Structure 1
Amino acid sequence: MCVSGCAMKWVRASAVSLALLLPVLGHAASGRPRGPADEALAALKAGQARIDALIEREVGKKPPEEWRPKLRKAVNAFIDFAELARRALGSHWQKRSTAEQERFQATMKALIESAYLSRVTERAEYQVEYLGAEGTKNGEVRVKTVLRARDAEIPVEYLLYRKDGRWLVYDIVTDGLSLLENYRTQFNRLIKRKGFEGLIETLERKRAELERLEKEGS
């Protein structure tokens, strides 16, 4: 059975992609944004500048129970986990009740956050080359980068959309692997075998496990 194994794959993909997100975003861009692509890139960089400052100031210097809530809030300011969850559920989304949708989004959001926070102190140093930001036909923006660490080169793309006047990340593509598409594939397989309730139960178990590990590491 792949229930627990698939869940671990989701967590691993989340953690790796979000860990890579930290060093790739440099300092806030100077100058006035010229268009949607520039606005999205500037928002991405500004969000990361706040996270970098928080990590430098508090992680490893203050108790985890003090910096984790702040870091969680800073990450949520420019990564839309709820939108990632909605898109990842694909055609199944419209088939669920409002209560089921909210339960799914809350569980997924907490799961990815916990995976990210469990690895935040394990960041490696990367050199980053920005390959550019470009708008898409549907008004969204794709930011392309290459991360270089030792002998490895890792292409990473960030997909952003505009919501309530803000640019937010809803997918991260690491070395060709889309976080959103990876989730969607796994969700479809599990729903086919276990139904929607089976998916939720699997995610909630993994969420509880990560939260337990997070507390033990405090």
Structure 2
Amino acid sequence: MAVSKTRAEVVALKEKSVFVPDENLSSGLRLQLAAALVLVVLLGVGCTGLLVWYYTEGPDVTTQPGPTEAAANTDTAETTYSSYTMASVSTREKAAIHLEVEDFSKDDQLKWQDSSGSAFARGGLRLVDNDIVIPESGLYFVYSQAVFRVTCSYDTYVSHKILRYSDSFDAPLLIMFAIKSVCQDTNRQNGEVKFFEHVYLGGVFQLKKGDRLGTTSYWTLDVQTDSGKTFFGAFAV
């Protein structure tokens, strides 16, 4: 049988079922809730900042090159570097000159040329009035060779020398010289041509701008004028 309750009894029962925390417990809950709220806000700000960085400054995962593209980029970089290196070398081309004998005269002078065979001139070194003209002060390797055809009808010798002409000296300065005795008694047989003899000179010298280098030789009438036999040159070091 249902038991009916009065309104007053119902109200009293509800009041008994409601939990009313004491003052201290309510204050602690409020602090915990506030701390949790602050933590949630901080996490939200941090995540937002991370997302902003990822899409603005982070790695571009959508444009990463594959193996083929990476290889192509590497080849392009190497080609660019190689082109730069070659251009740099060409702008730093050292002065050099190599002369070949063109003719000779009876006054111990070889006539040089710089425009045929293996002859060349670059970087400021040039041939003027049969002398090499120095374009800038510095160290230069100077060299020359003369090949002679020797006829041993009498005792003789061959010689070859390089002279430096400079405003610093009153007279030409001998910087290299070589002499060889080429005919002895055993080599003289009825004036026949017995052999070829060569003289080579080479060394490093401190030269000044405007200095000139020239050669003189003895026995020039028999100097060999074939390409590669008799030459004269210099280059900056």
Same fold (TM over 0.5): no
Q: Which has the higher strand share?
A: 2
If the length of structure 2 is used for normalisation, what is the TM-score? Answer: 0.17
